[in-house]
């Protein structure tokens, strides 16, 4: 059974303390919006009674949330036993979208939801970022953002914010990627470049670490949602870790925590994308599996050819089905190193669950038994630590999903980030009933 985690003190959570009037109002708007999101439709009186705000304040806050298109009025509700029926307030947000993107070595992914978490858009395009300049990659990313914003506009959805997930060390205050070794990005001011290109039509762009965003997606709505101590591992060419400890994302002094892929495990091993020797990702990253199993198609060998990771996995599985003995041995080798490296994580953080993302999830049936045995061999607590590997069911969209989740969280924490609609006219509404499911509009750009 799935439980639910919360973003619990994540970025954007409003701080309480001495505050001016505008801050108090923002905080109260957030309180009412979250209350409606968590508890469902209710009258203004009920909101007042349950939040401790006075009725006049709730009425004023509700007017502003209505004007911003974040809530709507629904059918009559009895305010109480003696109250006359009035219109109830409910979370709307179907016209407000949160857009998340991920740039990785071989693809760009886009994911969007409305404020209620309904998926509006979910696609991925192949792109060879490894062999492109940062400028070229940002052009491609800008194009993907424009396309996503246009698709959402066709659904009648205004974009409230955009977060871009990048596999690297990020200065989240400026939206600059300090280092993304597998992309070859050093000091790339992603947010500034995208804002200058006006891809987002004045919508704020933030940048964050892919593994951290994916971990938050898992913690809020994934296979191990609500598990207060979990580690998420990205299974890409690079391996990143998002660590949830005691229900909070572990950031570290600079927000750089979780670079587990660059923990040195073999001093006589291969050179890593970061320039060092024998990092964990040189043992378990997708590039090493591809090189062991399909050396003719190793990363970097066909400069002009862009291959989606799912295509590479299909090829690996096809070779295994055809009886190629290299595949089973290579996957077992990855599984052993996965368990050995995970033992370090268990020794450090004592997680209850390690969620395997990306390509690890697709090969989980083969990887987990080997990795679990190795984990118990190398973890100092052995089987006492009761830590299990589980496969994520978010595929390669966990980071973009988490990126969209971060935008939703920002709106819930500060509803004033969503503009008041032009003359507060109703924006086109999507049906929430019947067969008009916006996911069915999913547009997958041609590869
Ligand atoms: Zn490294």
Rg of the chain over Cα atoms, rounded to whole angstroms, equals 23
CA of 385 relative to ligand 1 center, distance in Å: 28
pLDDT at 11 over 50: no
Phi, psi of 94 (to 5 degrees): -70, -15
CA of 279 relative to ligand 1 center, distance in Å: 5
CA of 442 relative to ligand 1 center, distance in Å: 36
Question: What is the DSSP code (8-state) at residue 277?
Answer: B
Enumerate residues 6+ apart whose C-beta is below 8 A from 247. Answer: 5, 6, 8, 228
CA of 11 relative to ligand 1 center, distance in Å: 27
Integer Cα distance of 312 and 446 in angstroms:
18
Specify the 3-state DSSP secondary structure of 411.
Answer: helix
Residue 443 binned pLDDT confidence (cut-offs 50, 70, 90): very low
Q: What b/e readout covers 1-18, taking b as 16+ CB neighbours within 10 angstroms?
A: eeeebebeebbbbeeeee
pLDDT confidence of residue 423: 56
CA of 256 relative to ligand 1 center, distance in Å: 14
Integer Cα distance of 203 and 431 in angstroms:
25
354-405: pLDDT as tens digits:
999 999 999 999 999 999 999 999 888 877 778 999 999 999 999 999 999 9
Find tokens 């914003």 and name the residue: 149
pLDDT confidence of residue 338: 97
218-254: pLDDT as tens digits:
999 999 999 999 999 999 999 999 999 999 999 999 9
CA of 330 relative to ligand 1 center, distance in Å: 21
- Region for residue 350 given its phi and psi (left: phi exceeds 0; alpha: psi -120 to 50; beta: otherwise): left
Mean pLDDT confidence for 308-329: 93
CA of 167 relative to ligand 1 center, distance in Å: 12
CA of 273 relative to ligand 1 center, distance in Å: 6
Beta strands in 246-380 (DSSP E): 248-249, 353-356
Integer Cα distance of 159 and 429 in angstroms:
14
pLDDT confidence of residue 78: 58
Q: Which helix (H) or strand (E) holds 160?
A: strand 158-166
Integer Cα distance of 227 and 135 in angstroms:
39
Find tokens 């629904």 and name the residue: 74
46-89: pLDDT as tens digits:
999 999 999 999 999 999 999 999 999 998 765 555 555 678 99
CA of 263 relative to ligand 1 center, distance in Å: 7
Handedness of CA 266, 293, 370, 287 (dihedral sign): positive
CA of 241 relative to ligand 1 center, distance in Å: 13
CA of 281 relative to ligand 1 center, distance in Å: 7
């Amino acid at each position: 059974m799935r439980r639910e985690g919360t973003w619990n003190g994540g970025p954007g959570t409003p701080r309480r303390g001495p505050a001016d009037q505008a801050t108090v109002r923002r905080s109260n708007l957030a309180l009412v919006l979250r209350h409606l999101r968590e508890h469902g439709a209710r009258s203004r009186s009920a909101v007042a009674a349950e939040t401790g705000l006075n009725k006049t304040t709730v009425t004023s806050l509700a007017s502003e949330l209505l004007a911003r298109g974040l809530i709507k009025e629904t059918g009559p509700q009895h305010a109480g036993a003696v109250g006359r029926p009035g219109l109830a307030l409910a979370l709307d947000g179907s016209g407000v979208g949160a857009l998340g993107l991920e740039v990785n070595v071989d693809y760009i992914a886009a994911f969007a939801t409305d404020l209620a978490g309904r998926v509006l858009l979910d696609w991925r395009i192949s792109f060879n970022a490894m062999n492109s300049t940062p400028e070229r990659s940002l052009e491609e990313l800008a194009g993907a953002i424009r396309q996503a914003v246009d698709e959402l506009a066709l659904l009648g959805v205004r974009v409230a914010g955009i977060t871009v997930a990048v596999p690297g060390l990020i200065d989240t205050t400026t939206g600059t990627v300090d280092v993304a070794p597998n992309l070859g990005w050093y000091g790339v001011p992603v947010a500034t470049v995208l804002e200058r290109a006006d891809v987002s039509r004045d919508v704020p762009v933030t940048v964050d670490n892919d593994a951290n965003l994916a971990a938050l997606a898992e913690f809020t709505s994934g296979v191990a949602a609500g598990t207060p101590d979990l580690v998420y591992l990205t299974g890409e060419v690079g391996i990143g870790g998002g660590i949830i400890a005691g229900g909070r994302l572990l950031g570290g002094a600079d927000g750089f925590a979780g670079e587990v892929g660059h923990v040195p495990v073999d001093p006589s091993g291969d050179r890593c994308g970061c320039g060092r020797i024998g990092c964990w990702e040189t043992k378990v990253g997708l590039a090493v599996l591809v090189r062991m199993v399909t050396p003719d198609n190793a990363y970097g060998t066909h400069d002009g050819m862009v291959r989606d990771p799912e295509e590479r996995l299909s090829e690996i599985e096809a070779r295994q089905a055809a009886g190629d003995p290299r595949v089973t041995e290579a996957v077992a080798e990855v599984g052993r190193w996965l368990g050995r490296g995970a033992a370090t994580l268990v020794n450090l953080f004592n997680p209850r669950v390690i969620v395997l993302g990306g390509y690890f999830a697709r090969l989980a049936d083969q990887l987990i038994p080997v990795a679990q045995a190795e984990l118990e061999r190398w973890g100092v607590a052995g089987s006492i630590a009761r830590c299990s590997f589980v496969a994520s069911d978010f595929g390669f969209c966990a980071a973009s999903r988490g990126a969209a989740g971060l935008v939703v969280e920002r709106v819930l924490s500060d509803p004033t980030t969503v503009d008041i609609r032009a003359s507060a006219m109703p924006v086109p509404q999507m049906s929430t009933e019947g067969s008009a499911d916006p996911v069915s509009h999913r547009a997958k750009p041609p590869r």
